[in-house]
Structure formats: structure tokens, C-alpha cells
Structure 1
Amino acid sequence: MPNYDLIAILGPTASGKTPFAAALAAELHTEIISADSRQIYRGMDLGTGKDLADYTVNGHPVSYHLIDIADPGYKYNVFEYQRDFLRAYETIKQKGCLPVVCGGTGMYLESVLKGYRLLPVPENPELRAKLADKSLAELTEILKQYKTLHNSTDVDTAKRAVRAIEIEEYYATQPIEERAFPQLNSLIIGVDIDREWRREKISRRLKQRLDDGMVDEVKRLLAEGIAPEDLIYYGLEYKYLTLYAIGKMSYDEMFTGLETAIHQFAKRQMTWFRGMERRGFTIHWISASLPTEEKIDFVKRKLAGF
């Protein structure tokens, strides 16, 4: 029988991975570690799809970690995620439970499943000054010149691209002592959702979140003093809604642009997960359309070695 250290539930946005992970955690009497690069921020709820109600199963709360741990405007990174993941992982293991990591941020997931050895990268003022006047297209071309792209996903703003180049330059020029990270034997479950159903769910969910006050959430964050460029940094909903809120985009332009961007994001997530398989990860895919009970039974069989 395999002796697993961790269960990972991954999938694209709108695949239903979070309610499934919560139901599984409830069944196994364990806790969830989030692997979502934006749900770590307090007050960024609707825009990140932080459906905290999903963590209540049959009236009982399921404990979760790494949600609401940073202030909006802060630039959280993969190194910090590894550090915080390990703390949460050890906390859960000390209770005698099998942790469940769940999310759609491929870099975060891969960094802990593969045990990347990363170091915190300091700011490089000289490099930033040199890149300050370059366009996003120019920065992307510079980024492509590096052999290993540690942080090349979702580089949809110049600010993010500069940071990605900064990381690459540091790794290329500094002698780095590898930081120990445990090799975890992980059971990886992927939630596969039909493309057309995924598109339908994304569009329906976007309309619902707008009705629930997603524009007001962004206006509140701006009113609290978060700079527009800092919100735009987070991409997707925060990019388009901020541009709308500051008058740079009409409502229809915002909605159409955002809807398209989320569809493209889901496609990129699946490309990342397929890439993980090519890089040696075994992902056991299950259909999003299966009833939750059948999904849980599938995981239990895999845990038992079947």
C-alpha cells in the first residue's frame, strides 16, 4: 500500500475542485492548504473567487490554511508560499492527519510537489532602472532569453515582467546554496472539466460575482489607499475592474475583456498541468461531472493502492 505524505487536488478555474477537496477533507478528518496565489489576500474576496462557504460540509467547518494571510498590495512570492506551506503542512501532520493541498496556481503546486529549492530574491534597483522604460512586449522578449523560467506565468503587466526578469537574473548570476525542501510522496488528483461546460460556468460565475458586488469590492480597495497599479498587478478581475473603476474602460469593454481573459487563464492552467505530466508528475484525472461521493471513493481507492 502506498504511503502518501500529501493529497493534491488541482484543476482549472470553475472545475469545482474546492468543494470536492473540502468534502474529501471532511471525509478524511483532515485540513486543506490552499494553493491559490490571490486568495492569500485579505479583503480580495469576490475577485479571487474566495467561496469560503465551500469549506463548510454538512454543517461542519473544514479547517483551511493560506487564505487571508496578507494585505492587499503586498507582493507575495513562491519562496514565501513554500515557507508558509511547510508551516501549515507540519501543523496538520502533527495532528496525525494527511494534508490536502488544493488550488489552481501551477507554480505554487509544483514548487511543493516537486520540492523546488528556492531562495528569496532581493530587489535589484539598477536592473529595475534599466528596464523602467521598456514595454511589456520588450520585457517578455528579455524574459525569454533566460534558459529556465521560474516565474513566467501570468506575466500580463510590465511590473510583473520586471520582477520575473529580476528573479531570473539573480538565479543566473548568484552562487546559490540549495535550501532543503522535503520530497513529498503525493497523490495528485486532477479535476477535468469539459471545455464548453467550463466556459459556461466561467461566464455564469462572472455575472454572479458582478451582481454580488465585485465592482464595489475594487472601489473599496482603491478607497482604502491601494494604488491602481498595485491592484492591476494581480491581473484578471483586479486588472479589468480597476481599469473600469478609474475610467479607463467602459463597463461593456471590462466585461468582455475580463470574460475572455478568464477563459484564456483556464486554458493556460490546463497547459501548465499537462506540462507537469510531461515533467514526470502522475496526475490521476477524474471528471468534474462525477458525483462528489464517487470522486471521494476514487481517491480512497488510490490511497489504498488500487
Structure 2
Amino acid sequence: MSNKLQKILVIVGPTSSGKTILSIKLAKDFNGEVISADSRQVYKGMDIGTGKVTKKEMQGIKHYLLDVVSPKTEYNAAKFVKAAEKAIKQIQKKGKLPIICGGTMFWIDALLFGLPETVKPDPQLRKKLEKLSAEKLFIKLKKIDPTRAKTIDKNNKRRLIRALEIVLKTGQPVPKPLKKLKYDALKIGVKRDNQTLKKLIHNRLIARMRQGMVAEVKKLHKHGVSWQKLDDFGLEYRWLSRYLRGLITKQEMLERLELEINHYAKRQMTWLKKDKEIVWENDYKKIENLVKKWY
């Protein structure tokens, strides 16, 4: 690969696998700074439910793209790419290594390869699709774009409508990010077997409940984030908001939430397995040697 391309280190893996811990350790050892690539950690006040790294956990390592906007506003891949590119330049000016860390794979690919041409929103079509349930929208998408259906959150109406809008307007499947690499990127995937990952997901959910995740969702709603918006954020925010509305019991909420997090991890792995450039490893010494050879 051309030496002219800027070097960036990318840490990926399913939810709860330990990406954050690894990114901080590598940042300390290789004089790096971390750019978060998480579509929910950009929102202020969404801390416990997203597993946002705390000041203490950062261990003095500067982090970018956390707490960027209010959860009442929209943030998308295009905005992320623009902000991440700016952060990469700032980090490199300091002579440091930019480390991208997160689980929003579409955003990471968009940063590495560039975004495909966007389709302008169609208010009339959106209004029509808005009348359908998430279940019906997902069935519709599955028929016309089965590939996108494999990686989308089938309960997220906003994303389902956008995916359908693109397919119906262009007559083509949802385009993937372009495949011309913009950076010299070393991609490391945090490797966990299924049983270990399930246990990590379970333990983290219990820990988050103890940390006050219910109170966090209550506070977000009190500050003007609608129940629908919380539902659209998915996972923790969806099931906790439904519990707080009295739609489900606490036990049902915990069971459904854990199941959904496991399904989400599977969707992440479906996306990641397609990328043959990812080096899967969980031995830190081996990871360290890989980075040394590349950097």
C-alpha cells in the first residue's frame, strides 16, 4: 500500500467485546488518540445505555466525537465522516496516531472509502411508509434488498424507511460505501467466541442497570426526548422506554433487551465477516507486534 496514504488504526468488533479497552491500551503504547465511531455515543446524555467511555477510563487519552449533539437532533454518516476527517487531521498535526474505535460499521466504511452518492429525501414517500409498522417495513425491505435487511435493525422505523426510500427511488439495492481506500488502515477485530460474548453481554447489561440506566432514560425523556425518538435509538433506549411507558414488565424488558443485544452482535459480525482485511486477534502481544510492523 502506498506510503502516501495517512495511517489510521481501526478497532472493530461486536458490542461488549472489549474494543474500548484495547483502543486505550494501544493509544498509550503508540502515542495515539481515539475517534469514536458509534452512532449513539455522539449524543449528549446517552452515556450508560451506550457504554460511553468515562473520563477515568480514558486514562488521559483524548477522545473525539463523543457528546457531539443533543439527542433531539439528527446525526448521520455524512456528518460523522466530515467530523472524523477533521479529527484525523488534528491528531496527525500533533504527530500522533489516529485510532478509530466503534461498532457502527457503515460509518467506519464510509470514512475509509467515502460515502456513495446520496438520495434526496422524499417527504411524500416517507409519509406513506410512516403509516406502515416496523414489521411490515422490514418484510418489504427483505423482498427488495435482502442484503441490507441482514444488517439493519428491524425495529428501527427511521432506518427502515430510509433504506426503502433509497431502493424505491433508485431501483437499486442500498449502495455500500465505495471501495477505494482513502487511508492506510490497519483493521484489528476483537475476537470473542459466542459463549464468551454472550456472557460479556449479560454481565454488562446487569452492570448498566446497577449504574442507573433506567434513571438515564427517564432524564432524557424529561428533557424533551420523545418516547418515539428513544424507541428509534434501539436496544437499551427502546426497551427501557417501553418499560417506563408500562408496555412491558421489568422482567420482559431485561429478557427482550438481552436477546436484542445478542441479535445486534450477530448483525455486526455478519457485516464484519465480509471484510477480509480485518485481522482477528485477542492476544495483546500479537496485536502490539502487528501494529509495530505496520506503524
What displacement does 1:66 show?
0.8
Instruction: Indicate if the aligned counterparts of 2:7 and 2:185 stay in contact, CA closer than 8 A.
Output: yes
CA contact (8 A) 2:16 2:197 kept: yes
Instruction: Write the letter of the residue equivalent to 1:65.
Output: Y
CA contact (8 A) 1:10 1:188 kept: yes
**Partners of 1:254 and 1:296 in 2: CA distance:** 38
- Residues 241-271 of structure 1: CA distance to partner in whole angstroms, max 9, x if unpaired? 0000111110000000001111111111111
Q: Which residue type is aligned with residue 267 of structure 2?
A: R
CA drift of 1:30 comes to 1.8
Question: Do 1:152 and 1:164's aligned partners in 2 also have CA atoms closer than 8 Å?
Answer: no
TM-score (norm 1): 0.85
Counterparts in 2 of 1:24-173, with a 5 A limit? Answer: 24-53=26-55, 55-57=57-59, 61-119=60-118, 121-144=119-142, 145-146=144-145, 149=148, 153-169=152-168
Would the alpha carbon gap of residues 39 and 118 (structure 1) be closer, same or farther in structure 2, given more than 3 Å must change?
farther
Asked if the contact 1:115–1:184 (Cα under 8 Å) also holds between the matched residues in 2, the reply is: no
What's the RMSD between the two structures over aligned residues? 2.6
Specify every segment of 5 or more residues in structure 2 that has no aligned partner in the other structure, as ranges. Answer: none
Alpha-carbon shift at residue 167 of structure 1 (Å): 3.7
Separation in 2, partners of 1:295, 1:171 = 45
Please state if 1:298 is matched with 2:289.
yes
Aligned residues: 287
Q: Deviations over 1:105-125 (max 9, x none)?
A: 111111122333444x54321
Cα 1:95–1:118, aligned 2, differ >3 Å: closer, same or farther?
farther
Q: Aligned equivalents of 1:204 and 1:49: distance in 2?
A: 13
Q: Is the 8 A contact 1:107 1:151 kept in 2?
A: no
Compared with structure 1, are the counterparts of its residues 193 and 302 closer, same or farther at alpha carbon in structure 2 (3 Å cutoff)?
farther
Tell which deviates more after alignment, 295-304 or 141-150. 141-150
Structure 1 spans left out of the alignment, 5+ residues: none
Q: CA deviation at 1:286?
A: 0.4
For residue 56 of structure 1, report the CA deviation from its aligned partner: 2.8
* 1:274 Cα deviation after fit: 0.1
CA distance in 2: counterparts of 1:137 and 1:48, whole angstroms: 25
C-alpha spacing 1:262/1:152, structure 2 compared with 1 (3 Å): closer
CA separation of 1:23/1:49 partners in 2, compared to 1, >3 Å: closer, same or farther?
same
| Counterparts in 2 of 1:260 and 1:151: CA distance versus 1, 3 Å | closer
Residue matched to 1:18: 20
SS in structure 2 at match of 1:13: coil
Distance 1:231 1:73 in 2: 10
Cα deviation 1:157-208 (Å, max 9, x = unaligned): 32331122234445559xxxx99x9711211111101211111111011011
Report sequence identity in percent.
Answer: 36
In the TM superposition, what whole-angstrom CA distance separates every residue of 1:111-159 from its partner, at most 9, and x where no partner exists?
A: 122333444x543211012213222233223334259849962242323
Residues 72-114 of structure 1: per-residue CA shift (max 9 Å, x gap): 1322111111111111111112222221101111111111223
TM-score normalised according to structure 2 size: 0.88
The CA distance in 2 between the partners of 1:28 and 1:150, in whole Å, is 38
Q: Is the 8 A contact 1:18 1:54 kept in 2?
A: no
Q: 1:2 to 1:267 in 2, by over 3 A?
A: same
C-alpha distance after superposition, 1:15-73 (max 9, x if no partner): 1111111111111112111111111110000000112246533xxx1011111101113
Residue type of the alignment partner of 2:52: K
